[in-house]
Chain A
Amino acid sequence: DTGVSQDPRHKITKRGQNVTFRCDPISEHNRLYWYRQTLGQGPEFLTYFQNEAQLEKSRLLSDRFSAERPKGSFSTLEIQRTEQGDSAMYLCASGTSSGNTIYFGEGSWLTVV
Chain B
Amino acid sequence: GESVGLHLPTLSVQEGDNSIINCAYSNSASDYFIWYKQESGKGPQFIIDIRSNMDKRQGQRVTVLLNKTVKHLSLQIAATQPGDSAVYFCAENNAGNMLTFGGGTRLMVKP
Q: Do A and B come from one complex?
A: no
